[in-house]
Amino acid sequence: MIFEPLPLKGSFLIRPEPHADARGFFARTFCSREFAEHGLNENLRQCSVSFNSVKHTLRGLHYQLPPHEEAKLVRCTQGAAHHVIVDLRDGSETCLGWTSVELNSDNHHQLYVPEGVAHGFITLADATEIFYQISADFSAEHTAGVRWDDPAFDIAWPADPAVISDRDSGYADYAARS
């Protein structure tokens, strides 16, 4: 695997190194030793999947509050999505910064999202499936989010959402938080 650092501290685009032959290819997508060597949380305890029927479905931007912060390893197994991450870690040199990457079923790239960083995406195709590996057990009491169009971040999305949940569209402005 090739670990490409992204602009937000501790985030990475991870590209597989396929071994191809007449059958197709084989590639490793996770190795706890390699994750540890790059300072990443290699304790991935939970797997989840998100299926999105319609192009321009937007999910996020979600994160877990202390003491239940979670790191995520995200990949697109079907379709395509534009993924955005926002650094919400107090004291981080990239705090309140954001970056984005496209993950799709053709490039097989993965996005590593460190603890304290919000994650969301907008689908670029119908029938898009996102697979998550997560470092902590989900805690409903500690789930939080920031709005996709919050002026505090000025995120450049490739399209406005066609489908978004009331929860995701209803987060208060980040600047209004105490």
pLDDT tens digit string along 61-80? 999 999 999 999 999 999 99
One-letter amino acid of 85: I
**Does the annotation count 68 as an active-site position?**
no
Sequence-distant (≥ 6) Cβ neighbours of residue 22 within 8 angstroms: none
Name the nearest CA neighbour of 12 among 114, 103, 88: 114
The model's confidence at residue 168, banded by pLDDT at 50, 70 and 90, is very high
Which residue range(s) make up the domain with 128?
2-176
- The pLDDT value recorded for residue 176 is 85
Task: Give per-residue burial for 117-146: e unless 16+ CB within 10 Å, then b.
Answer: bbbbbbbbbeebbbbbbbbbeeeeeeeebb
Q: What is the mean pLDDT of residues 34-42?
A: 93
pTM value is: 0.95
Q: Which of 62, 83, 109, 119 is catalytic?
A: 62
The model's confidence at residue 34, banded by pLDDT at 50, 70 and 90, is very high
Q: What is the mean pLDDT of residues 88-97?
A: 96
Q: Which of 63, 112, 132, 171 is catalytic?
A: 132
The yes-or-no verdict on residue 144 having pLDDT over 60 is: yes
Residue identified by tokens 């197709």 is 24
Number of domains in the chain: 1
Q: What's the CATH number where 118 sits? A: 2.60.120.10
Sequence-distant (≥ 6) Cβ neighbours of residue 127 within 8 angstroms: 51, 52, 53, 78, 79
- The pLDDT value recorded for residue 178 is 57
Percent of all residues in the chain with a pLDDT value above 70, rounded to a whole number: 99
pLDDT in tens, 111-138: 999 999 999 999 999 999 999 999 999 9
**Does the annotation count 132 as an active-site position?**
yes
Q: What is the mean pLDDT of residues 24-29?
A: 93
